[in-house]
Amino acid sequence: MTRQDTAFVYGHLDVQLLKKEDGWNTEPFVLDFERRKALWRRGALVMMKRPVLGLASAIESISANQEKCAVNIKFCFEGMEESGSQGLEPLLRERQASFFSDVDFVCISDNYWLSTTKPCLTYGLRGLCYFCIEIECASKDLHSGLFGGSVHEAMTDLIYIMGQLVEPNGKILIPHIYKDVEPLGDTEEQFYEKIDFDTEDFRTAIDHPKLTKADKTQVLMSRWRYPSLSLHGIEGAFSGPGGKTVIPGKVVGKFSIRIVPNQTPQCVEKYVLDYLNELWKARNSPNKFKAYLLDSGKSWRTNPEHPNYVAAARATKYVYNVEPDLTREGGSIPITLTFEEVTGKNVLLLPMGASDDGAHSQNEKIDVRNYIEGTKLLAAYLYEISKVTQAELEEAESTK
């Protein structure tokens, strides 16, 4: 009896919190089938519900045709990914020797095409370091008419420091932050030039006036292979409509850095905190100051020439009649690295959705075409990995 390969598929079913006043135009539990072209609903199919349902539909269709699935399938579907997957990693490591011992291939579909028309396979993700800056000037909020001009205001200090983190063109001002970034390879720019990506479509899709970089290669490298710093918010500051003349007694500024291969959260934390402490010392403010790393996750990158990716490329060509682009992604999927560690196998990111699906945003959707063709893709992928020989797997594992 010949050995049958085993594929492990991960998916999550939850979504981020939503307030209807944020601009959502459909009911969260009602599927809106608009003009038979797209399915609209909060979290219904965007993110990972669509590949979970797609996998179930693929297996159902195989069974309905009275055929045996070409590979064994194991899966993990969770409902707390948007809450940090609390408890999942310890469970996975606890079951590492038993549940994952016979896994040959790992597939996750928690990402998107680079465009709206061409499929891709994703082999890299940036990591994340999330920081907080706390500044306190008083034990309570103050009236600006009574105290303005006579106190060192916490908000003024915070705005000064947050304004020293990144330039308008995206360059991070923190010393040494680029020190550990992987050097650009001799032929690497040629790789980016082959990718189907239109910078003008990318810009106009979000109604942005001007990108920080001029050409396609530089835009893609800024998104994928270089770190970026983003300011996210200020806790404790007045943010409601209208005017309010309050001086916040305490404010907390929040920002993050997307980190890339060769950068570690530990080194980035040191660079950032050293710089923030230097800025604070130079500020010479009497207020209370504290900066710290709130959360972090490593970057991830795998070998896109692994048989897992080669099989997925064949499946994509079969379904969409086009060779997929090989891409990296600017976001983070921390569980990807965990699955790589507990299985010891190559992890494939196989997206089903287009770049304009609007994950976590108002009016999430999935195009009917992508839902149908994506289901076919998952079925074709299961078939293609069944053709990978044990010798090919062993050779790939020995050279990774």
Label residues 81-112 b or e (16+ Cβ within 10 Å = b): bbeebeebbeebeeeeeebbeebbbbbbbbbb
| Active-site annotation holds for 14 | yes
The angle subtended at Cα 91 by Cα 86 and Cα 94, nearest 5°, is 150
Which of 72-86, 205-219, 261-275, 308-322 is the least confident region?
A: 72-86
| Residue spans per domain, the chain | 6-125+300-399, 127-181+226-297
Q: What are phi and psi of 33, to 5 degrees?
A: -100, 90
Domain 6-125+300-399 grouped into CATH 3.40.630.10: yes
Give 92-149 pLDDT, tens digit per residue.
999 999 999 999 999 998 788 887 788 999 999 999 999 999 999 999 999 999 999 9
Class of the CATH domain delimited by 127-181+226-297: alpha beta
Q: What is the rounded average pLDDT of the residues 17-45?
A: 60
- Pair 163, 154: CB distance under 8 Å: no
CA dist 80 to 15, 68, 76, 343, Å? 9, 32, 12, 21
**Please, is 116 exposed, middle or buried when counting C-beta atoms within 10 Å of its C-beta (0-12, 13-18, 19+)?**
middle
Give 217-250 pLDDT, tens digit per residue.
999 999 999 999 999 999 999 988 999 999 999 9
Residue 344 has pLDDT above 70, yes or no: yes
Question: Which one-letter amino acid corresponds to residue 349?
Answer: L
CA dist 21 to 25, 26, 29, Å? 9, 11, 16
Same fold, 6-125+300-399 and 127-181+226-297: no
Give the pLDDT score at 340: 95
Mean pLDDT, the chain, as a whole number? 87
Give 164-199 pLDDT, tens digit per residue.
999 999 999 999 999 999 998 888 888 888 899 999
Strand boundaries in 84-240, DSSP class E: 105-108, 120-125, 127-136, 142-143, 228-235
Catalytic residue among 14, 141, 180, 340: 14
pTM of the model: 0.85
Catalytic residue among 5, 81, 104, 153: 81
Residue 14 has pLDDT above 90, yes or no: no
| Active-site annotation holds for 325 | no
Give the pLDDT score at 61: 82
Give the pLDDT score at 365: 66
